[in-house]
Chains A and B, each alone.
Chain A
Amino acid sequence: MASFVELVLTGITSGLVVGLAALALTLVFGIARFANAATGDMMTVGAYAAVVSMAASGSFTLGVVAGAGAGIVVALLAHLLVFRRLAARAPVTSLLASIGVAFVIRAAIGVAFGHQQKVFGLPVVRPWRIFDVRVQPIDLAVVIAAAATLLVVFLILYATPIGRRMRAVADDRSLARVSGISPDRVMVTMWALAGGVCAVAGVMLGAKTVVSPDMGWDMLLPAFAATILGGIGHPVGAVVAGILLGVVQEIATPFVGFTYKIALAFFVLLLVLLVRPAGLFGHSEGAR
């Protein structure tokens, strides 16, 4: 029983990483209307910025803040230099451009830091034992960072004027414009938010594993899966689906082994979509 609970806890922490990446994907998809393939590489930016900052300051908290800041800057640059200029074109143009942005970010990281793996150098700490269940302190740090990030994002989305305007643009861009809402201002906020969320997810992933130029790219497929499973454009759905996929993967590991656990998660995705094609939280819409 204790080992089952440990698997669930590990699943929740790894699922939160996927869930945050899916949240960033769904924010961009909901408002800018394209699937941002650079999401994973924006995660990598956050992880490297945090590693550098932590090496200089010795503080993991400062590392998270620096990582988030770097993610915000890179996302805003990508918006201002690339995506804003393509906004009037078909969404597939922005999707293809985002693949290019992803390659540029990865190449720049490779040139700047090399291709060797890096680690955060966090002190090795004994796991805590709570009712016979082992809890890794780093997992708790990951959960706290993820919870704080989610709290900030959902507060902005649901309790601030700019958040309401973001949701209005996501609902209907033309109606938002005839309501006096400037899509440009909404876009800048959305990209800052998405970049920050990506970067925090990258820091969490790097802290639990290792930091490498490909780390974010490898997370892209699970993040897409969580976005679809949660219901495209649904922020809460993205996070819940990420956690669900993480837990399913970890629980399945003793039965199917490490190699096939990802395949099993995608099998669950297929099953859910057969029953609910719009995802767990999505609404089916008729074509007009």
Chain B
Amino acid sequence: MSVLCVEDLRGGYSEVDILNGVDLALDAGEILTIAGTNGAGKSTLAKAVVGLLPRVCGRVVLDGVDITHMPTERRAQGGIGYVPQVANVFPSLAVFENLEVVEGVRDRKARIAELFALFPALAERKRMRAGSLSGGERQQLAYARALMTRPRVVVLDEPTAALAPALVKDSLARVASLATDGTAVLLIEQRARQALAISHRGAIMDGGRVAMSGAADTLLADERAADLYLGHI
């Protein structure tokens, strides 16, 4: 059974629908890249899954439980981690406080120690204000915060968008490592080819719905996908 199912999802920020009937499913340990042009509805889909979209209809199902209208904070506690594209840390809080504030965590101290072992750069800067971290360190902190609850699904909204080109490869390698312990990853990404290269499957959105989907290798080799959405480089 899929960990996350999205069925005929529609909705937006006001009266106008940005999502026009999205269907997708995500299995444990799987990375699913959502690609598409600007305005295709990728980030809106991420917000709908985590509960930040004001108006939704259709269904979002996590581990067989309908969470479509569940409050955002309960979804977070119940197993959905989210790393937004920008503003992904609490800048006035220290690094360790960014992790301590997360609710729904069992054995908080041990979990923070585990995450500091996973992200050693954060351990060295645990008393620094998160606002003073570099872009790459901020992203590591954002990942660590999202992983605090040992989530079943992590939603990453364009993790490479604010990074220097030299850091993109490392960032995507880190995304790939998230799925190794069974966490499902929904990866929204503009750098579609690089993202698909580390993914199991991909879906290309256009006009608020999934226009093409399939195995990542198949999409990367698809001439039509390359012509219309992915480019050839």
Asked if chains A and B come from one complex, the reply is yes
Chain A interface residues toward B at CB < 8 A: 161, 164-165, 167-168, 170-172, 174-183, 288
- Interface contact A288-B86, CB-CB below 8 Å: yes
Inter-chain contacts of A181 with B (CB < 8 A)? 73, 101-103
Q: A164-B101, A178-B76 are in contact. List 17 more A-B contacts (CB 8 A).
A: A161-B101, A164-B93, A165-B101, A171-B90, A171-B91, A171-B92, A171-B93, A175-B87, A177-B73, A178-B51, A178-B52, A178-B73, A179-B102, A179-B148, A180-B76, A180-B105, A181-B103
Q: How many residues of chain B are within 8 Å of chain A by beta carbon?
A: 30
Contact check: which of B52, B88, B145, B149 meets A177 at CB < 8 Å? B52
Query: CA–CA, A168 to B97, complex, Å?
Result: 9
- Interface contact A180-B52, CB-CB below 8 Å: no
Inter-chain contacts of A161 with B (CB < 8 A)? 100-101
Q: 1/0 contact trace for B29-50 toward A, CB 8 Å?
A: 0000000000000000000001
Contact check: which of A168, A174, A177, A180 meets B93 at CB < 8 Å? A168
Inter-chain contacts of B143 with A (CB < 8 A)? none
Interface centre among B92, B101, B145 (most CB of A within 10 A): B101
Query: CA–CA, A161 to B109, complex, Å?
Result: 13
Interface contact tally, CB-CB below 8 A? 75
Expressed in whole angstroms, the minimum distance between the Cβ of A188 and any Cβ of chain B is 15
Expressed in whole angstroms, the minimum distance between the Cβ of A281 and any Cβ of chain B is 11
Query: CA–CA, A50 to B82, complex, Å?
Result: 48
Query: CA–CA, A42 to B149, complex, Å?
Result: 40
**SS of A interface (majority):** helix
Inter-chain contacts of B71 with A (CB < 8 A)? 177, 182
Report 10 cross-chain contacts, Cβ distance below 8 Å, ordered by A residue: A164-B100, A165-B101, A167-B93, A170-B92, A171-B90, A171-B91, A175-B87, A178-B84, A180-B76, A182-B73
Q: 1/0 contact trace for B43-78 toward A, CB 8 Å?
A: 000000011100000000000000000011110110
Chain B interface residues toward A at CB < 8 A: 50-52, 71-74, 76-77, 80, 82, 84, 86-93, 97, 100-105, 145, 148-149
- Interface contact A180-B149, CB-CB below 8 Å: yes
**SS of B interface (majority):** loop
- Interface contact A177-B97, CB-CB below 8 Å: no
Query: CA–CA, A142 to B149, complex, Å?
Result: 45
Query: CA–CA, A168 to B96, complex, Å?
Result: 13
Q: Which chain A residue shows the least CB distance to B78?
A: A180
Expressed in whole angstroms, the minimum distance between the Cβ of B14 and any Cβ of chain A is 14
Expressed in whole angstroms, the minimum distance between the Cβ of B146 and any Cβ of chain A is 8
Expressed in whole angstroms, the minimum distance between the Cβ of B46 and any Cβ of chain A is 10
Inter-chain contacts of A175 with B (CB < 8 A)? 84, 87-90
Inter-chain contacts of A178 with B (CB < 8 A)? 50-52, 72-73, 76, 80, 82, 84
Inter-chain contacts of A172 with B (CB < 8 A)? 87, 90
Expressed in whole angstroms, the minimum distance between the Cβ of A81 and any Cβ of chain B is 22
Closest 8 CB pairs of A and B: A180-B103, A180-B76, A177-B72, A171-B90, A180-B77, A178-B82, A180-B104, A168-B101
- Interface contact B97-A164, CB-CB below 8 Å: yes
Inter-chain contacts of B76 with A (CB < 8 A)? 177-180
Q: Which chain A residue shows the least CB distance to B91?
A: A171
Expressed in whole angstroms, the minimum distance between the Cβ of B175 and any Cβ of chain A is 18
Expressed in whole angstroms, the minimum distance between the Cβ of A171 and any Cβ of chain B is 4
- Interface contact A180-B73, CB-CB below 8 Å: yes
Inter-chain contacts of B52 with A (CB < 8 A)? 174, 177-178
Expressed in whole angstroms, the minimum distance between the Cβ of A159 and any Cβ of chain B is 11
Expressed in whole angstroms, the minimum distance between the Cβ of A110 and any Cβ of chain B is 41
Inter-chain contacts of B82 with A (CB < 8 A)? 178
Query: CA–CA, A164 to B145, complex, Å?
Result: 14
Q: Which chain B residue shows the least CB distance to A165?
A: B101
Q: Which chain B residue shows the least CB distance to A166?
A: B101
Query: CA–CA, A180 to B148, complex, Å?
Result: 10
Q: Which chain A residue shows the least CB distance to B80?
A: A178
- Interface contact A167-B90, CB-CB below 8 Å: yes
Query: CA–CA, A165 to B82, complex, Å?
Result: 18
Inter-chain contacts of A170 with B (CB < 8 A)? 92
Inter-chain contacts of A174 with B (CB < 8 A)? 52, 72, 84, 87
Q: Which chain A residue shows the least CB distance to B131?
A: A283
Expressed in whole angstroms, the minimum distance between the Cβ of B13 and any Cβ of chain A is 13
- Interface contact B103-A168, CB-CB below 8 Å: no
Q: Which chain A residue shows the least CB distance to B84?
A: A175
- Interface contact B145-A179, CB-CB below 8 Å: yes
Query: CA–CA, A171 to B92, complex, Å?
Result: 7
Expressed in whole angstroms, the minimum distance between the Cβ of A286 and any Cβ of chain B is 12
Inter-chain contacts of B72 with A (CB < 8 A)? 174, 177-178
- Interface contact A179-B103, CB-CB below 8 Å: yes
Inter-chain contacts of B77 with A (CB < 8 A)? 180
